[in-house]
Amino acid sequence: MPVTPLKNDIFLRALKREPVPYTPTWLMRQAGRYLPEYNATRARAGSFMGLAQHPAYAAEVTLQPLERFKLDAAILFSDILTVPDAMGLGLSFAQGEGPRFARPLRTEQEVNKLEVPDLSKLQYVFDAVSLIRTELDGRVPLIGFAGSPFTVACYMVEGQGSTDYRLIKSMLYARPELLHRILEINAQTTALYLNAQIEAGAQAVMLFDSWGGVLADGLFQQFSLHYTRQVVQQLTREREGRSVPVIVFTKGGGQWLEQIAACGADAVGLDWTVDLAAARRRVSDAVAFQGNLDPIALFGGEPAIRSEVRRVLDAFGAVGSGGHVFNLGHGISQFTPPEAVGVLVDEVRLYSPQFHDGNK
Amino acid sequence: MPVTPLKNDIFLRALKREPVPYTPTWLMRQAGRYLPEYNATRARAGSFMGLAQHPAYAAEVTLQPLERFKLDAAILFSDILTVPDAMGLGLSFAQGEGPRFARPLRTEQEVNKLEVPDLSKLQYVFDAVSLIRTELDGRVPLIGFAGSPFTVACYMVEGQGSTDYRLIKSMLYARPELLHRILEINAQTTALYLNAQIEAGAQAVMLFDSWGGVLADGLFQQFSLHYTRQVVQQLTREREGRSVPVIVFTKGGGQWLEQIAACGADAVGLDWTVDLAAARRRVSDAVAFQGNLDPIALFGGEPAIRSEVRRVLDAFGAVGSGGHVFNLGHGISQFTPPEAVGVLVDEVRLYSPQFHDGNK
């Protein structure tokens, strides 16, 4: 693959806490159901997995939000559950419902049979990454991603989404060694999976620890952060002659910020419950931060969106030796009016340059 | 009502950070669906509201867990949504589903019509409090409770439970003055409501801010904590010649602990994501803490329950000038095996005396 020089690398530079002219922006789940063009492609693909498993479709929807909005990064269209699907758990998405596994892990026997899968089963993901890189043609960097070992394990044990995580926590409390075995295998697989995405062309990677925040203090560190750190430490950190930054995001992890920031990642994603000024002080700008607008602020109408965007940028303040990537504190809601995203991006571009003194 | 002296007041003393011989224990939702005797009474009452609205049934289920377990407090059996029901919003509980309001608040007109209700509509609650006090006969103190103004407003605007709080947050961002009006009325009503419970015999009161934790930093303080503080400041703090302690619990509020602890309450409830040792340091023992075992730890079997109970007690450490009430970090799950509660209570009684040097 010929390497096209990046025309806009400010996302990558902000993650490395290098000077940039304005605060770069992308949104979690930016290629998604709030966009009519996404829904049209999904209808043609027939299903969510039809989209994710066909590189041409995955590339098409990955690029859609970039056509509408001045975003500074693209993120691979895929799902964190491709990994356990490759492990043989049988993923499906029922219409209007969340993901389900046909063969969740509940018994010792089921856990003992779990193995690091043949990564060729995920070739469709790596093909999508390569194709997207080609189609992006250097416009903005491409982010690869995976779920954290614990978050993926939640789905593997529960078999679907949960409100109380009773099955996985019961395993954690009653048979911790079984959960540790799952997490070890998830960590090994996830490191291989992300490195293959980097090899295929991902220019930054993000680990989504969506459910680490449901664990008790002390157990979060043992059952989630420990394995996230294992993954981060095995990642390829340089490729195509430049650094491949790593972002770790634990939803609800604000209380553990110092510990998360020490896991080896370049940047930490923060949800909207965290004060960015306090977060910077707590870690002395040792990492960049990504976030942290409440996704529901996008339902407030234009004046409220602009004012809430400014509140986030004001909280971070003068960027100095820190790094800030503007984002939501969680994935964008499927009910979001698309024009609200335009307002958000516009306000970040208008209001953020004052916080950056290192203009290109 | 003749006042029977309390035979066991260690719960009240722990909340005031006075010396006690062991760590007192009660569990949020201790009178509930995990108990077969509760389900039998509920079947006789016909429905959840049938239970809550009939003092004899409410008293019966309030006392049931005390017959099984050596708990140090009883909590009124009721629901935080009795208040908006009295405001005319039309509460119902569909079988197997959560609460629903027939007339949620969505428009300016609907919000403007909202008023502090005639508290006589809640007489059934005060009658239940009096009857429970009589039937308790001084065994342990009785806790009264209410939802926080924001948490109750969530249900009033959403009309039912929610996963993203899109309707109330849309109001917050787009029409903050409407939400402030609801919250003002909720705060006034809640103060009157809790004071009437105290008048009827409640010996401590608790405010449940179950959903404050879904708000963004900065907005939590304006839209939730501000109104919780208003309620706390209006409460009757002495009755029957002794202090009536106030507990405030914001689920997911660990990051705002210093601010919550400054709201005027005697004690702060903590969920399981908070390290009790760090929490004590952060507020210099200025308040007592209540919590914070993960309710799902009760599914781990006896050795795990004992070990997790000890982990909570160890984290709090030597009680000294602090105060600790053992509890779960959230309501007990309806699927909990009742015998697990017996193990929990037993372990607190066995293991906690070493942390108390002020024996009776």
Closest CB from B164, B273, B335 relative to A216: B273
Q: What is the complex's ipTM, to 2 decimals? A: 0.94
Cα–Cα distance measured from residue A125 to residue A201, given in angstroms and rounded to the nearest whole number = 11
- The answer to whether residue A358 scores a pLDDT higher than 80 is no
The nearest CA of chain A is from the CA of B195 a distance in Å of 32
Q: Per residue in A163-219, pLDDT tens?
A: 999 999 999 999 999 999 999 999 999 999 999 999 999 999 999 999 999 999 999
Q: Could you give the C-alpha distances from A350 to A90, A189, A237, A309, A344, in angstroms and in order?
A: 47, 42, 33, 11, 10
Cα–Cα distance measured from residue A268 to residue A275, given in angstroms and rounded to the nearest whole number = 13
Cα–Cα distance measured from residue A127 to residue A130, given in angstroms and rounded to the nearest whole number = 5
C-alpha closest to that of A210 among A258, A161, A257:
A161
The mean pLDDT of A325-348, rounded to a whole number, is 98
Q: Per residue in A40-49, pLDDT tens?
A: 999 999 988 8
Query: What is the percent of chain A where pLDDT is above 90?
Result: 94
B204-209 and B142-147 beta bridge pairing: parallel
Q: Which residues of A touch B222 (CB under 8 A)?
A: none
Angle at alpha carbon of residue A277, lines to A258 and B227, rounded to 5°: 105
- 3-state SS, chain A, equals CCCCCCCCCHHHHHHCCCCCCCCCECCCCCCCCCCHHHHHHHHHHCCHHHHHHCHHHHHHHHHHHHHHCCCCCEECCCCCCHHHHHCCCCEEECCCCCEEECCCCCCHHHHHHCCCCCHHHHHHHHHHHHHHHHHHCCCCCEEEEEECHHHHHHHHHHCECCCCCHHHHHHHHHCHHHHHHHHHHHHHHHHHHHHHHHHHCCCEEEEEECCHHHCCCCHHHHHHHHHHHHHHHCCCCEECCEECCEEEEECCCHHHHHHHHCCCCCEEECCCCCCHHHHHHHHCCCCEEEEEECHHHHHCCHHHHHHHHHHHHHHHCCCCCCCEEEEECCCCCCCCCHHHHHHHHHHHHHHCHHHCCCCC
Q: What pLDDT score does B358 carry?
A: 56
Contact A255/B272, CB-based, under 8 Å? no
Q: Which of A158, A168, A296 to mutate to test the interface with B (most CBs of B within 10 A)?
A: A296
Cα–Cα distance measured from residue A179 to residue B184, given in angstroms and rounded to the nearest whole number = 47
Cα–Cα distance measured from residue B176 to residue B222, given in angstroms and rounded to the nearest whole number = 10
Closest CB from A166, A217, A274 relative to B255: A274
Contact B273/A217, CB-based, under 8 Å? yes
Q: What pLDDT score does A196 carry?
A: 98
Q: Which residues of B touch A255 (CB under 8 A)?
A: 254-255, 273-274
* Amino acid found at A193: Y
Q: Which two tokens stand for residue B219?
A: 């907005």
The nearest CA of chain B is from the CA of A192 a distance in Å of 31
Residue B189: is it exposed, middle or buried by C-beta count within 10 angstroms (0-12/13-18/19+)? buried
The nearest CA of chain B is from the CA of A224 a distance in Å of 13
Contact A169/B296, CB-based, under 8 Å? yes
For residue A96, count other CB atoms closer than 10 A to its CB: 5
First to last CA, chain B: 29
**pLDDT of chain B along its 360 residues, tens only?**
556 789 999 999 999 999 999 999 999 999 999 999 999 999 999 988 899 999 999 999 999 999 999 999 999 999 999 999 999 999 998 777 789 999 999 999 999 999 999 999 999 999 999 999 999 999 999 999 999 999 999 999 999 999 999 999 999 999 999 999 999 999 999 999 999 999 999 999 999 999 999 999 999 999 999 999 999 999 999 999 999 999 999 999 999 999 999 999 999 999 999 999 999 999 999 999 999 999 999 999 999 999 999 999 999 999 999 999 999 999 999 999 999 999 999 999 999 999 998 544
Q: Torsion angle of alpha carbons B84, B89, B95, B98, nearest 10°?
A: -50
Angle at alpha carbon of residue B164, lines to A254 and B185, rounded to 5°: 95
Angle at alpha carbon of residue B294, lines to B288 and B299, rounded to 5°: 140
Q: Are B62 and B133 in contact (CB under 8 A)?
A: no
Contact B273/A220, CB-based, under 8 Å? yes
Q: Which position has the token pair 């990564």?
A: A119
- The answer to whether residue A360 scores a pLDDT higher than 50 is no
Give catalytic residues of A, as residue numbers. 29, 33, 42, 79, 155
Q: What pLDDT score does B2 carry?
A: 54
Q: Are A227 and A263 in contact (CB under 8 A)?
A: no
Closest CB from A165, A166, A305 relative to B335: A166
B261: Cβ contacts below 8 Å, ≥ 6 apart: B268, B282, B283, B286, B287
C-alpha closest to that of B135 among B244, B226, B30, B55:
B55
Cα–Cα distance measured from residue A256 to residue B293, given in angstroms and rounded to the nearest whole number = 18
Q: Torsion angle of alpha carbons A125, A131, A137, A141, nearest 10°?
A: 0
Q: What pLDDT score does A97 carry?
A: 77
A91-93 and B246-250 beta bridge pairing: unpaired
- Sorting pLDDT into bands at 50, 70 and 90, what band is A96? confident
Helix B302-316 / helix B338-351 crossing angle, nearest 10 deg: 40
For residue A331, count other CB atoms closer than 10 A to its CB: 15
Q: Which two tokens stand for residue B146?
A: 């209410």
Q: What pLDDT score does B360 carry?
A: 42
**What H or E segment, with its residue span, contains residue B66?**
helix B55-68
Contact B304/A166, CB-based, under 8 Å? no
Residues of A with CB under 8 A from a CB of B: 164-166, 169-170, 172-174, 213, 215-220, 252, 254-255, 272-275, 294-297, 299-301, 304-305, 308, 311, 315, 329, 333, 335
Q: Which two tokens stand for residue B6?
A: 């309390």
Q: Are A187 and A149 in contact (CB under 8 A)?
A: yes
B155 is catalytic: yes
Q: Which of A157, A173, A314 to mutate to test the interface with B (most CBs of B within 10 A)?
A: A173
Q: Are B208 and B80 in contact (CB under 8 A)?
A: yes
C-alpha closest to that of B190 among B216, B208, B167, B211:
B208
Q: What pLDDT score does A93 carry?
A: 87
Q: Which two tokens stand for residue A119?
A: 């990564």
Q: Which two tokens stand for residue A130?
A: 């390569």
Q: Which residues of A touch B172 (CB under 8 A)?
A: 300
For residue A118, count other CB atoms closer than 10 A to its CB: 10
The DSSP 8-state label assigned to residue B264 in this structure reads S
Q: Which of A158, A294, A311, A314 to mutate to test the interface with B (most CBs of B within 10 A)?
A: A294
Q: Which of A273, A289, A330 to mutate to test the interface with B (most CBs of B within 10 A)?
A: A273
C-alpha closest to that of A126 among A219, A66, A186, A194:
A194
In order of start, what are the domains of chain B with their CATH numbers?
A: 10-271 (3.20.20.210)
Q: What pLDDT score does A2 carry?
A: 54
H helix runs in B117-248, sequence order? 123-136, 149-158, 166-174, 176-200, 219-220, 226-233
Contact B296/A173, CB-based, under 8 Å? yes
Contact B304/A173, CB-based, under 8 Å? yes
Q: Per residue in A130-172, pLDDT tens?
A: 999 999 999 999 999 999 999 999 999 999 999 999 999 999 9
B195: Cβ contacts below 8 Å, ≥ 6 apart: B234, B235, B236
Q: Which two tokens stand for residue B151?
A: 């948490």
* Amino acid found at A33: R
- The answer to whether residue A359 scores a pLDDT higher than 60 is no
